[in-house]
Amino acid sequence: MRRLLTGMLALSAVAVLAACSFAVKGPAAKPVQFAGIIPAPARFEAGQGTFAFGRGTAIVVRSEAGAVPAGFLKEGLKKRIGLNLAIKQTAPASGAVVLETSASASVSPEGYVLAVGPEKVTISAPAEAGLFYGVQSLLQMIDARGAARGRTIPCARIEDQPRFGYRGLMLDESRHFFGKETVKQCLDQMAYLKLNRFHWHLTDSAGWRIEIKKYPKLTEIGGIGNHTEPDAPARFYTQDDIREIVAYARLRQITIIPEIDMPGHASAATRAYPEFSGGGSQRYPGFTFNPGSEKTYGFLEDVLGEVAALFPGPYIHLGGDEVSFGNQQWDTDPQIVGFRQEHGLKDKVELEHYFIRRMAGAIEGLGKVTMGWDEITSSQVPPDKSVLFWWRHDKRLLLRRALQKGYRVVLCPRAPLYFDFIQLEGQQVGRRPMFNDLARVYNFPDPIIKDVVPEGTATQIQGVQACVWTESIAGDKRLKYMTFPRIAALAEDAWTPAANKNYDDFLGRVRGYLRVLDREKIHYFDVFDPARTPEPPAPERAAKPLS
């Protein structure tokens, strides 16, 4: 897709209004089905009449920011209704879909105004992201009509923008590796649902999945095996693979956040380079990096340097959780004990905090923001230079205190946002004893915000994220079964104003989304008829997960 020449004039949002009559519905109203759009828009006005796509319909792009979204619209229409429309810079008298930027549009940079009139469809936004999301909503309106009726869509006017800036999905590819095509398919669905952060868990005890040029054994040795097959051939992403996926995500308005786990969950790395091991336990050998060796810090700084160069986004996630599972030798190893004493650290907990602060400083030195699991709060990393991921749903006081200290927080608690937990009583495979069904996912995050978040700190909540840990998920089919359609509920949590959320209405739109998944050949859990989409088998010899 070629970008248009710069310097084209942006048009006023006033031009968005098409010539048809609208029945206004405010934010608290519940328009039936929201024209099939997931996540439900912030403001929806049902109109009278329809717009018909035909062979003479043109896609008109009036600013450079519309070039990429127009390309997605062109391909989306061809796929859905069989029309290969031309992209132009001037509009015909009627029968056009116009994409234009407008600084005066009353929405955020990711917001858009979509007006469907009988003669013209207009998508107006301040920036490319909003135009892209407006295109997704238009395609969803077509999908809701179905292939047979999709050439005609009802008149409507939508003013939309996200509730949260961070709308994320995490995929663990250390425990089981899925590969480029699966990741791209996940990114496609994230974009369709207006999710914009892909947290990529690339290293852990089961396997190291990202090529580091300076340390080739990380993938040659550390990439061998997975959670259920310790001797499986090495699988990982080359740096060219990473660049390809990052570029693919960027076109879809998705920022990828790499996670390089430390100081725990390091067994794959210490298998490859045992000289950097801080020991482990009988159950978790080689679980930690050595926090008492300057060579360890140099090694990790080298790794992070290559990672930072591959991922242009502003974040690197360093993990920082569950170190106690394998730090017993920190009390007895002479080098580690000597290092601790030299730096005036009274015990291994203070040493852990020193490690986290030092590596956060290295990330800051690379021009990135440090992200980490909620344990890093105790390490006193600077609140203005870090983002906390609150995952321990049973530690509400920790969330409250972190917000009071000024930390920015992404909400991703096990209950209800870990998608490896079962989603229905009676399912055979998945985390227990609780289950995270579609309704529980959908009813997040407002109970937490109401009951836990201190007054005056709500703006520190950056957004929400679902986590797909893969100890019990091996293979594309099972991954999709555990992710879809729960990801649609996550999207509405992240985007839609609380006043517009209505579970019954959402279920009606989910029925349409399942048809989209059928078209894309994505296996899913059918919440309406579970027997229709059978549960895939579990991976053999699955071990008990760490958390």
Distance (Å, whole) CA 155 – CA 499: 23
Provide the CA 407 distance to its chain's centre, in angstroms.
20
Q: Which residue shows structure tokens 């899913």?
A: 524
Q: Residues for the chain: how many in total?
A: 547
Q: Any residues with CB less than 8 A from the CB of 467 and at least 6 apart, and which?
A: 170, 172, 199, 391, 412, 417, 418, 419, 420
Which stretches of 73-165 are assigned E, i.e. beta strand? 86-88, 96-101, 112-116, 120-125, 152-160
Q: Any residues with CB less than 8 A from the CB of 44 and at least 6 apart, and which?
A: 25, 29, 31, 34, 35, 156, 157, 158
Distance (Å, whole) CA 422 – CA 75: 36
199, 201, 227, 265: the catalytic one is 265
Pull the structure tokens for residue 188. Answer: 């496609």
CB 194 within 8 A of CB 136: yes
Pull the structure tokens for residue 10. Answer: 């942006």
Nearest-10 crossing angle of helices 239-251, 180-192: 20
Pull the structure tokens for residue 510. Answer: 């989910």
Pull the structure tokens for residue 154. Answer: 């009802």
Residue 322 a catalytic site member: yes
45, 204, 321, 333: the catalytic one is 204
φ, ψ of residue 289 to 5 degrees: the values are -75, 155
Q: Strands 22-23, 43-52: parallel, antiparallel or unpaired by DSSP?
A: antiparallel
- The secondary structure element, H or E, covering residue 257 is strand 255-262
CB 205 within 8 A of CB 265: yes
CB 101 within 8 A of CB 10: yes
Residue 204 a catalytic site member: yes
301, 322, 476, 505: the catalytic one is 322
Q: Which residue shows structure tokens 């969950």?
A: 265
Pull the structure tokens for residue 37. Answer: 């759009």
Distances, alpha carbon 104 to alpha carbons 7, 101, 112, 126, in Å: 17, 9, 11, 7
Residue 455 a catalytic site member: no
Pull the structure tokens for residue 13. Answer: 């949002």
**Beta sheet of 96-101, edge-to-edge order:** 22-23, 43-52, 152-160, 112-116, 120-125, 96-101, 58-61, 86-88
Distance (Å, whole) CA 153 – CA 166: 31
- With 0-12 / 13-18 / 19 or more C-beta atoms within 10 angstroms meaning exposed / middle / buried, residue 189 is buried
Q: Which of 493, 325, 461, 492 shows the shortest CA–CA distance to 390?
A: 461
Residue 28, SS3? coil
Distance (Å, whole) CA 119 – CA 23: 18
For the annotated catalytic residues, the residue numbers are: 204, 265, 322
